[in-house]
């Protein structure tokens, strides 16, 4: 997990003219970390709790430790993150100037992303996220597309900094209010379990965290940075940010916000459910109107965040498990979609869908990848997204959000189908306009990346149990923390038997 | 045996996977895999019929505390019958495609999609719980999308595929909510468990609603009004696909599903709704068929109309008795019976139409055909058998199954019985019209003049299908009721004579002149498509437009620029503080220090 950071160091010593060497080092390193994470994922003991721990004491007096580890929730996310990172490097061949700087930043970003999800220490959890976030801004500003890139970089910086700031205040609030002497997340959870943070403090800590993290994940109505940012970001950046980094806020909600402020959560999650619905329906409708492919994918990705929020808002075992499942599935999907759209952009410098058509014939590989991504995006069974989405529907229904579930199902099945199929119809089907006559199919490396992402989507779609078993065990602990009565009732029924 | 059952389901998936991975490079290998898989499934289904009474096996797909989704196979009389229909007709259609798609450059892709479709369909047939059914329901939706849009470069085909998928999605939406309601009422989605605890008191209104919502799924797949609009457009796919999807399998899925979960809707108010929707669809579609000129579209509307029959009779219910061999209930038994016979003769009619279209160089307008009788004898004779069966001429298979439906309708509801008889008249009328215009008289175009009989690989499946089209009625025959017998024979004779009087030796349709606006309404399908188009353009698009504008101007504009503005304001204010004057800084520094000290000490 630390490898990419080392790589960025190495790259900064390679002269900028050695383009190939830089790219190969990045490829090798991200490939290696993807393989290592696969090994970790396969050797992970489902019921073993926290594993692969690394712990170095840093600042003892403050209880700051460099503490990495994986449990049922983040092992899948780390694996997904490592694979997406590799895919992002594969698809980064659209960079034509300032190679060295780009790859240094890219590797820092990858390191930060993976670090954030692996950290078991609140400080590093936040630190790594910031480490990944800053390169994002720079990459959009410097290597971004089109005239709009400065505005986009500015907007995304503004929003995400604001979100991060709110979350930071919330986190400091947690630390102070819990009277903690350690930043370690497990220690903190143990602490608040023994002695909860007082109720009124929870009432302000949770919304801070919820909106802080929420802005990072493009919670409605703080979402407008996302489509614009992704529309202008270079391919690899969009893949990494939309795929992995964005999930940080959701991860924070599950990992920190809910366990730390369970009473605040129960009150505020009702509101979150409605905002989630707004994400799903509103952004779905906005996506219908888009003519630019990247804006469409961006908006649909914002809409998909609604599922995850809804799962979290259900606050039951099914919902949280489904939420983590969709996080992983959407990470793979978003990377795939932005990867393919990046390839299309590279061909013609435009993603205006009204000018496209018939590309399935011209580029069977990239076209098929896009087709499958769109299908996964509208929740087709067989892909991991479906498994997560249907789980979340059941969860939200059983949590009592019936109206929300009905409208969410409409947004997912009909509105989602509408914009995805329109995109396919405009881009892949129909006649081929002249401007797209000279285009080429994707080269082997990006094709491998697409294939890899698709394969994982299918594997987790056919066997979601690979992920859910581990997630469920960890999520249970959180749900029992919030609703102790469930646990007691269950133990009673076991005793009765 | 369990292995065999799994193989029935998995063979087509394996075939489609292999074609997708690499076999697509070779046309014969792809076709071989695909045909091998479907005939393999067919043979195994026959083995099931011969050796297995009932069988139930399942593996877990997803389990989270309080939620358990299995992938399970349920083999009983109902699914065995359906298995044979799907794989049997599927096999013949695969073989027919060998000839029909011979020159297509995407031959391999076609067979890959066919296998995927068969896999999805078999999943519906074998499903033992609602969630699995929903999964395969969606998969059938997407594989039909791929097949209808197979010639994706043709705009009309691409649009038709999109329309089919989206219309189905609307139905699926209801289906999903229905499943959620069932789960809420009974805490399970498994059919067998539902059957055990289906007597819940006080839940009748809710379970009626659940039943209706589940029926929405069937409304989409089986193309019942008002979700029928996708089916005629779906004729844009290759003709064997029309035969497969729109005669034998996909559209039958809705009726099959209703029969499968009949115990849930039985006795609720949903029944009445289902019966009437079925009846109305049957009548409306038959009227539309009367004024269509495209050979495949006539058959498509006829399919709609016959599906309406089946749905209607499911909704009517009828008495329970063990001598109803398939399901034990008169209504569903009749529905499944008609589904089976209809699958045979409708598949044959579609393939026959395919053969005609192939011979006339992809001409589909019946007014540009004519006189095909002597040029294509095999197609002619099989088409004749199909027509007779569809019209319900005594001794042909369609006669027995249609009569079973009429018997139930006669007992349960007089108005629906009358509708059913009118539909029978109309059926004979439009089929006789099609037959006379296309096959008899003189050739009305160059292509029809030079039409030649299709190759054996296409006519043999026709001949194979002709056998069950004639005889399939005998396996489930009941004692005929004299009134019904009389009514159905009169209907056939009346319809045929009318069509003969109007269409013998004419060059263009005389009906529009006689009926005026009514004929126009039939031809324009009662303007359903226009209505939906209008709704989509004015409601859906406007909603999206409003959302987009709000997004762009209100949320993005006000909020972002608001933040921007306030930041700038703060910046200006702060600039006031940065005077560059050392004394001012010293003052603020001391003030801050004091503030911190006060805070720390208090």
Cα–Cα distance between A77 and A70 in angstroms, integer? 10
- Taking an 8 Å cut-off on Cβ atoms, the answer to whether A430 and B153 are in contact is yes
Cβ within 8 Å, pair A158-B560 = yes
Alpha carbons A8 and A137: distance in angstroms, whole number: 17
Q: Is A383 on the interface with B (CB under 8 A)?
A: no
Q: Which residues of B touch A464 (CB under 8 A)?
A: 61-62
Q: What are the phi and psi torsion angles at A279 (to 5°)?
A: -55, -50
Over residues B342-367, mean pLDDT: 84
Asked whether B46 and A449 are in contact (CB, 8 A), the reply is no
Q: Are A401 and A310 in contact (CB under 8 A)?
A: yes
> Are A286 and B136 a contacting pair at CB < 8 A?
no
Q: If 0-12 CB within 10 Å is exposed, 13-18 middle and 19+ buried, where does residue B21 land?
A: exposed
Rounded CA separation B272/B215 (Å):
12
Q: What is the pLDDT of residue A494?
A: 55
- The tens digit of pLDDT for each residue in B489-506 reads 888 788 778 777 777 777
Q: How far is A115 from chain B (nearest CA, A)?
A: 29
Mutate to test the interface with A, among B120, B187, B550, B551 (most CBs of A within 10 A): B551
- B556 and A321: CB-CB below 8 Å? no
Q: Which of B162, B180, B543 sits opposite A394 (nearest CB)?
A: B180
Identify the helix (H) or strand (E) that includes residue B560: none
Asked whether the predicted pLDDT for residue B588 surpasses 70, the reply is yes
Instruction: Give residue-wise pLDDT tens across range B116-136.
Output: 999 999 999 988 888 899 999
Q: What is the spatial distance between Cα A294 and Cα A89, in angstroms, rounded to a whole number?
A: 19
Q: Determine the angle formed by the axes of helices B456-471 and B377-391, rounding to 10 degrees.
A: 30
> How many interface pairs between A and B have CB atoms less than 8 angstroms apart?
143
pLDDT, position A62: 66
CA-nearest residue to A224 within chain B is B556
**Mean pLDDT highest for which of A229-233, A246-250, A477-481, B222-226?**
A246-250
pLDDT in tens, A279-296: 888 888 888 888 888 888
Check if the beta carbon of residue A310 is closer than 8 Å to that of residue A332. Answer: no
* List of chain A residues whose C-beta atoms are within 8 Å of the C-beta of residue B145: 421
Find, in chain B, the residue whose alpha carbon is nearest to that of A155. Answer: B560
Closest residue in chain B to residue A278, using alpha carbons only:
B547
Percent of all residues in chain B with a pLDDT value above 90, rounded to a whole number: 2
Q: How far is A84 from chain B (nearest CA, A)?
A: 23
Q: Do A430 and B62 touch (CB under 8 A)?
A: no
Q: Which of A382, A405, A424 sits opposite B180 (nearest CB)?
A: A405
Asked if residues A77 and A327 have their Cβ atoms less than 8 Å apart, the reply is: yes
Q: Is the pLDDT of residue A407 over 80?
A: yes
Q: If pLDDT is split at 50, 70 and 90, which confidence band does A244 have?
A: confident
Question: How far is B162 from chain A, CA to nearest CA, in Å?
Answer: 6
Alpha helices in B187-269 (DSSP H): 191-196, 204-221, 230-233, 239-243, 250-260, 262-265
Partners of A289 on chain B (C-beta within 8 Å) are 544-545, 547-548
0.90 cut: is pTM over it?
A: no
How confident is the model over A312-334, as a mean pLDDT? 89
Task: Check CB contact under 8 Å for A224 and B560.
Answer: yes
For range A454-475, the mean pLDDT: 84
Decide if pLDDT at B264 tops 50. yes
Mean pLDDT of A288-315: 86
Query: Tell me: the pLDDT tens digits for B96-120?
Result: 888 888 878 888 888 888 899 999 9
Which residues of chain B make contact with A426, given a CB cutoff of 8 A? none
Chain B residues touching residue A455 (CB < 8 angstroms): none
CA distance B349 to B17: 31
Once rounded to an integer, what is the mean pLDDT over residues B323-332? 75
Per-residue pLDDT reduced to its tens digit, B392-403: 888 888 888 888
Question: B16-55 pLDDT, tens per residue?
Answer: 888 888 766 778 888 888 899 999 999 988 888 888 888 8
Considering only CB atoms, which chain B residues are within 8 Å of A283? Answer: 547, 551
**Residue whose tokens read 């009474």:** B53
The per-residue pLDDT for range B502-542, each reduced to its tens digit, is 777 777 766 666 666 766 766 666 667 777 777 777 777 77
Residue B335 in tokens: 């529905």
Contact A285 B544 (CB under 8 A): yes
Q: Of the spans B174-178, B244-248, B449-453, B527-531, which averages the highest pLDDT?
A: B174-178
Structure tokens at B240: 């064997």
Q: Which residues of chain A does B162 touch, with a Cβ-Cβ cutoff of 8 Å?
A: 421-422, 424-425
Give the chain A residue whose CA is nearest to the CA of B67: A318
Helix, strand, or coil (residue B430) = helix
Q: Which residues contact A167 (CB under 8 A, 6 or more apart)?
A: A126, A208, A209, A212, A213, A216, A249, A252
CA distance B584 to chain A (A): 29
Kindly list the residues from chain B whose CB atom is less than 8 angstroms away from the CB atom of residue A162: 563
Tally of CB atoms within 10 A around A195? 9
pLDDT confidence of residue A497? 47
Average pLDDT over residues B148-153: 86
**Residue B267, pLDDT above cutoff 70:** yes
Query: Would you call A289 an interface residue with chain B, using a CB distance cutoff of 8 Å?
Result: yes
Q: Would you call A155 and B169 a contact, using CB atoms and an 8 Å cutoff? A: no
**Best of A157, A278, A279, A390 to mutate (most B CBs within 10 Å, chain B):** A390
Question: The complex's ipTM?
Answer: 0.86
Omega within 30 of 0 (cis) for the link into B238:
no
Q: Among residues of chain B, what percentage have pLDDT more than 70?
A: 89
Q: Judged by CB atoms within 8 Å, which residues 395-434 of A form the interface with B?
A: 395, 397-398, 405-406, 409-410, 413-414, 417-418, 421-422, 424-425, 428-432
**A interface mutation test: which of B60, B64, B137 has the most A CBs within 10 A?**
B64
Q: Which residues pair with B70 in a beta bridge?
A: B60
Q: Is A211 on the interface with B (CB under 8 A)?
A: no
Q: Which residues of A touch B165 (CB under 8 A)?
A: 417, 421
pLDDT of res. B564: 63
* Cα separation, B372 vs B360, whole angstroms: 10
Cβ atoms < 10 Å from Cβ of A72: 27
Is residue B93 predicted with pLDDT exceeding 50? yes
pLDDT at position B456: 80
Q: Which chain B residues have a beta carbon less than 8 Å from that of A285?
A: 543-544, 546-548
**In 3-state terms, what secondary structure has residue B448?**
helix
pLDDT tops 60 at residue B365: yes
CA dihedral A147, A148, A151, A157 (to 10 degrees): -120
B547 and A286 within 8 Å at the Cβ level: the answer is yes
In this structure, are residues B279 and B264 in contact, taking their beta carbons and an 8 Å threshold?
no
- State chain B's mean pLDDT as an integer: 82
Collect all residues of chain A within an 8 Å Cβ-Cβ radius of residue B159.
Answer: 425
pLDDT in tens, B572-581: 776 666 666 7
Interface contact B142-A380, CB threshold 8 A: yes
In angstroms, rounded to a whole number, what is the distance separating the alpha carbons of residues B207 and B33?
Answer: 44
Residue B565 pLDDT > 70, yes or no? no
Residue A5 has pLDDT above 60, yes or no: no
Given a cut of 50, whether residue A125 has pLDDT beyond it is yes
User: Which chain A residue shows the shortest CA-CA distance from B131?
Assistant: A390
* Chosen from A381, A409, A490 to mutate, greatest number of chain B CBs within 10 A: A381
B554-587: b (≥16 Cβ within 10 Å) or e = ebbeeebeeeeeeeeeeeeeeeeeeeeeeeeeee
Among B325, B335, B322, B324, smallest CA distance to B265 is for B335
A14 at the B interface (CB within 8 A)? no
Residue A7 has pLDDT above 70, yes or no: no
Per-residue burial over A57-68, b if 16 or more Cβ lie within 10 Å, else e, is eeeeeebbbbbb
- What are the residues facing A121 on neighbouring strands? A184
What are the Cα distances from residue B11, in Å, to B115, B131, B534? 9, 22, 44
- Nearest-CB residue to B142 (from A158, A375, A422): A375
Mean pLDDT calculated for residue range A159-164: 82
Q: How close is the nearest chain A Cα to the Cα of B592, in Å?
A: 21
Q: What are phi and psi of A430, to 5 degrees?
A: 80, -170
Most confident of A144-153, A388-397, A459-468: A388-397
Kindly determine whether residue B64 and residue A318, on different chains, have CB atoms separated by under 8 Å. yes
Find out whether B251 and B327 touch, Cβ atoms under 8 Å: no
Closest CA to A123 of A73, A70, A187: A187
Query: E strand or H helix at B273, and its extent?
Result: helix B270-290
How does pLDDT run across A31-53, given as a tens digit for each residue?
777 777 777 777 777 776 677 77
Regarding predicted confidence, which is higher, B209 or A431? B209
Cross-chain residue pair A398–B560, CB shorter than 8 Å: no
């Amino acid at each position: 997990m630390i490898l990419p950071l080392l790589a960025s160091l190495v790259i900064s010593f390679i002269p900028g003219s050695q383009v190939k060497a830089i790219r190969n080092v990045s490829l090798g390193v991200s490939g290696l970390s993807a393989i290592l994470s696969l090994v970790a994922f396969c050797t992970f003991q489902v019921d073993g709790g926290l594993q692969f721990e690394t712990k170095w004491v840093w600042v003892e007096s403050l209880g700051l430790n460099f503490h990495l580890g994986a449990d049922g929730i983040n092992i899948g996310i780390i694996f997904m993150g490592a694979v997406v990172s590799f895919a992002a490097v594969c698809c980064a061949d659209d960079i034509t100037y300032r190679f060295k700087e780009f790859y240094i930043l890219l590797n820092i970003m990858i390191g930060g992303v993976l670090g954030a999800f692996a950290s078991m220490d609140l400080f590093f959890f936040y630190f790594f996220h910031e480490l990944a976030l800053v390169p994002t801004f720079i990459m959009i500003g410097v290597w971004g597309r089109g005239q709009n890139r400065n505005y986009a970089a500015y907007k995304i910086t503004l929003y995400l900094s604001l979100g991060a700031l709110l979350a930071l205040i919330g986190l400091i609030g947690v630390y102070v209010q819990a009277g903690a002497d350690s930043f370690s997340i497990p220690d903190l959870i143990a602490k608040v379990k023994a002695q909860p943070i007082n109720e009124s403090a929870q009432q302000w800590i949770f919304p801070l965290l919820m909106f802080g993290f929420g802005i990072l994940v493009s919670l409605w109505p703080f979402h407008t940075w996302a489509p614009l940012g992704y529309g202008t970001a270079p391919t690899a950046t969009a893949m990494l940010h939309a795929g992995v980094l964005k999930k940080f806020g959701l991860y924070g909600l599950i990992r920190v916000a809910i366990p730390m402020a369970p009473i605040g959560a129960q009150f505020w999650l009702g509101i979150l459910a409605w905002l989630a619905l707004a994400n799903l329906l509103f952004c779905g409708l906005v996506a219908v109107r888009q003519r630019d492919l990247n804006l469409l994918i961006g908006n649909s990705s914002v809409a998909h965040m609604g599922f995850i929020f809804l799962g979290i808002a259900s606050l039951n075992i099914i919902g949280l498990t489904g939420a983590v499942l969709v996080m992983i599935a959407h990470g793979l999907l978003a990377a795939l979609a932005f990867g393919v759209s990046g390839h299309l952009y590279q061909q013609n410098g435009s993603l205006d869908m009204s000018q496209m058509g018939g590309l399935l014939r011209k580029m069977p590989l990239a076209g098929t990848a896009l087709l499958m991504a769109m299908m996964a995006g509208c929740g087709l069974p067989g892909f991991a997204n479906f498994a997560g989405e249907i789980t979340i529907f059941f969860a939200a229904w059983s949590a009592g959000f019936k109206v929300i579930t009905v409208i969410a199902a409409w947004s997912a099945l009909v509105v989602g189908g509408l914009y995805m199929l329109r995109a396919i119809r405009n881009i892949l089907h129909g006649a081929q306009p002249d401007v797209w006559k000279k285009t080429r199919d994707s080269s082997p490396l990006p094709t491998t990346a697409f294939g890899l992402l698709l394969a994982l989507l299918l594997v987790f779609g056919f066997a979601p149990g690979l992920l859910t078993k581990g997630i469920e065990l960890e999520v249970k602990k959180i749900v029992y923390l919030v609703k102790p009565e469930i646990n007691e009732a269950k133990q009673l029924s076991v005793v009765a038997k | 045996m369990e292995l065999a059952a799994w193989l029935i389901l998995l063979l087509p998936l394996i075939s489609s996977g292999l074609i997708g991975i690499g076999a697509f490079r070779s046309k014969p290998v792809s076709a071989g895999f695909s045909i091998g898989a479907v005939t393999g499934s067919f043979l195994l289904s026959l083995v099931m019929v011969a050796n297995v009474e009932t069988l139930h096996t399942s593996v877990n797909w997803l389990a989270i505390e309080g939620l358990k989704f299995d992938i399970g196979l349920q083999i009983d009389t109902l699914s065995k019958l359906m298995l044979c229909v799907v794989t049997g007709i599927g096999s013949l259609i695969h073989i027919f495609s060998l000839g029909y798609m011979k020159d297509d450059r995407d031959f391999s892709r076609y067979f890959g999609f066919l296998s995927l479709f068969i896999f999805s369909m078999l999943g519906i047939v074998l499903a033992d719980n609602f969630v699995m059914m929903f999964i395969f329901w969606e998969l059938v939706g997407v594989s039909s999308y791929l097949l209808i849009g197979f010639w994706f470069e043709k705009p009309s085909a691409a649009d038709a595929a999109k329309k089919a998928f989206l219309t189905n999605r609307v139905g699926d939406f209801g289906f999903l909510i229905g499943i959620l309601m069932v789960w809420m009422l009974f805490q399970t989605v498994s059919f067998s468990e539902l059957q055990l605890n289906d007597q819940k008191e006080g839940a009748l209104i809710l379970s009626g609603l659940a039943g209706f919502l589940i029926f929405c799924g069937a409304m989409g797949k089986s193309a019942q009004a008002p979700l029928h609009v996708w089916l005629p457009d779906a004729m844009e796919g290759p003709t064997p696909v029309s035969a497969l999807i729109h005669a034998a399998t996909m559209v039958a899925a809705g009726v099959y599903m209703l029969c499968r979960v009949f115990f849930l809707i039985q006795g609720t108010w949903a029944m009445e709704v289902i019966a009437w929707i079925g009846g109305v669809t049957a009548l409306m579609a038959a009227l539309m068929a009367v004024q269509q000129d495209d050979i495949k579209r006539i058959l498509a509307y006829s399919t709609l109309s016959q599906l309406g029959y089946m749905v209607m009779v499911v909704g009517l219910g009828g008495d329970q008795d063990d001598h109803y061999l398939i399901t034990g209930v008169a209504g569903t038994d009749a529905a499944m019976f008609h589904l089976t016979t209809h699958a045979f003769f409708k598949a044959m009619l579609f393939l026959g139409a395919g053969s005609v279209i192939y011979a006339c160089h992809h001409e589909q307008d019946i007014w540009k055909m004519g006189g095909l009788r002597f040029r294509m004898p095999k197609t002619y004779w099989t088409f004749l058998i199909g027509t007779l069966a569809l019209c319900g001429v005594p001794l042909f298979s369609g006669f027995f199954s249609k009569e079973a439906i009429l018997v139930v309708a006669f007992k349960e509801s007089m108005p629906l019985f009358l509708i059913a008889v009118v539909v029978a008249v109309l059926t004979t009328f439009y089929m006789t019209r099609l037959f006379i215009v296309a096959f008899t008289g003189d050739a009305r175009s160059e292509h029809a003049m030079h039409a030649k009989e299709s190759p054996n690989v296409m006519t043999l499946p026709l001949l194979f299908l002709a056998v069950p089209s004639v005889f399939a009625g005998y396996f489930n025959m009941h004692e005929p009721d004299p009134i019904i017998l009389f009514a159905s024979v009169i209907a056939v004779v009346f319809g045929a004579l009318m069509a003969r009087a109007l269409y013998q030796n004419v060059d263009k349709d005389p009906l529009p002149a006689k009926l005026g606006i009514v004929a126009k309404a039939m031809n324009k399908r009662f303007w359903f498509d226009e209505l939906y188009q209008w709704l989509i353009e004015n409601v859906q698009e406007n909603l999206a437009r409003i959302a987009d504008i709000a997004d762009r101007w209100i949320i993005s504009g006000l909020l972002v620029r608001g933040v921007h503005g306030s930041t700038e304001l703060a910046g200006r204010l702060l600039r006031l503080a940065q005077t560059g004057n050392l004394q001012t800084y010293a003052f603020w520094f001391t003030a801050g220090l004091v503030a911190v000290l006060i805070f720390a000490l208090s």
